[in-house]
Amino acid sequence: MSEENYMRIIDLRGKKLTRAEMLEAMPRAEMGTNEATELVQPILDDVKARGAAALRDFAEKFDHIRPEHLRVPVEAMKAAVDELDPEVRAAIEESVRRCRAVSASQVPAPFHTDLAEGARVAERWIPVQRVGLYVPGGKAVYPSSVIMNVVPAQAAGVESLAIATPPSRSSSDGLPDKTILATCSILGVDEVYAVGGAQAIAMFAYGAKGSEPQDGEILCDPVDKITGPGNIFVATAKRMVSGIVGIDAVAGPTEIAIIADKGANPSWLAADLIGQAEHDELAGSVLITDSEDIADKSVLITDSEDIADKVQESLKYRVPRTEHAERVNTSLRGRQSGIILTDGIEQSIDAANAYAAEHLEVQTADPDAVIAKIRNAGAIFRGPYSPVPLGDYMSGSNHVLPTSGTARFAAGLGVHTFMKPVEVIEYDEQGLKTLAARVNAFAVSEDLPAHGECVLSRFIDDPYNKATIKEQEEQAGLR
């Protein structure tokens, strides 16, 4: 690969890899959460101990502003809506409409199973009571992430929603970005905090007492679950409070994979790769192809050498012309990015399943045949007119997706994230009587006799007299 090309080559051609070897061959960013733990732990401890006072200190340290109002005044949110560009508002409202339609379809229905007369097991889906939603700042602002977190939570029936997002660097009053505030207001969320980073996660996990009159005695009550993406410190904090509260996932850098054949448009492929690399210097860019020259972006999977060459050339043309060219260049040349060369479409599919991309585009002559064999992906984008940015903003799907290969066992955020399936066991006397002796036998086999005695006490006089148990069971009609 010439020095002018962007990405390193991972050549799988002619190799029969074990499952472990294939997983090891995939390019990954270093998460670094272990190193961040030492920095995050004192933040968690300080917020837990001092509440709002610590939050203001950390805002001053990390965001270079000391917010007067940690909880954003409702008036500021309403004003943000009034000032919102009409075209942006129309886009937000359309995104909300589509996301609500999909989320409504995701709400699971209760069910029951009758196993015998008087023996029923039912299942209810109960919404989490209070949720903290984190919306990142940093290199960009993400009103889209407000939508992706809030809408499914509302569809699930969550009673209490709180949002934390960093103070805007362009705001003199320490409030968050106005587009984010406007989006919160459009969605009907009025509990919004100008708090970012690991300190926001601590506030959600432990709650925070007020430190100034405008805070009240309690600034923020603890939540039951925290969702939303963030940087390495947010991800580390979420991992560290997991168990105290629920979390959706420990998110890593964003990533894309593209499976493409010779019929795909190389200019579009290059644009799609660049679009994802724009997010972050650590964004994953992996191209999977049978072409040695197929260059850049998250994961492009193809069996066409011609396409590979053309994509590489298109990248050389496009990268310098995009606004965040330096960031894109760093991402594409990073260890987390690369071109995976394969023998053909079947090995490309195997590589895609091993990589388990957050976003997987399939641009092939028969995309349905390829998709049928995909087991691991956060979301699949079928065909050339379903690019990843459509899912980021407007498709109706959710853009909070598993990263770093976790799509092998995890799913994207949705209504299910904010609900708990709870079984309801309903047996009447006859239903229990039919199983009582068997339950006792099972319990005794596990050396947990009190379990059996608990059931037998409802039907016999002395379940503790082991010498007469069988006789008592027969007399009670349990055998």
Cα separation of 425 and 112, whole Å? 10
Amino acid at 436: A
Is 87 considered catalytic here?
Answer: no
**Residues 6 or more apart in contact with residue 280 via CB below 8 angstroms:** 139, 253, 254, 327, 331
Cα separation of 224 and 411, whole Å? 20
- Reduced to 3 states, what is the DSSP secondary structure of residue 301? strand
Number of Cβ within 10 Å of residue 283's Cβ equals 28
Which position among 255, 359, 399, 473 bears the catalytic label?
359
Number of Cβ within 10 Å of residue 345's Cβ equals 21
Take residue 371 and report the two structure tokens written for it: 């998709």
Instruction: State how beta strands 208-209 and 218-220 pair.
Output: antiparallel
Q: Find the Cα–Cα–Cα–Cα dihedral 393, 396, 402, 404, rounded to 10°.
A: -40
- Burial tier of 198 (Cβ tally within 10 Å: 0-12, 13-18, 19+): buried
Take residue 237 and report the two structure tokens written for it: 């904090």
Take residue 442 and report the two structure tokens written for it: 């099972």
Which position among 191, 281, 358, 453 bears the catalytic label?
358
DSSP code per residue over 40-97: HHHHHHHHHHHTHHHHHHHIIIIIS---S-SBPPHHHHHHHHHHS-HHHHHHHHHHHH
Q: Which residue has the tokens 């998460």?
A: 31
User: What are the residue ranges of helices labelled H in 260-340?
Assistant: 266-277, 305-318, 325-333
What are the angstrom distances between the C-alpha of 8 and each of 272, 318, 326? 18, 18, 18
User: What are the residue ranges of helices labelled H in 165-245?
Assistant: 178-186, 197-206, 232-241
Is 159 considered catalytic here?
Answer: no
Q: Which residues are catalytic?
A: 358-359
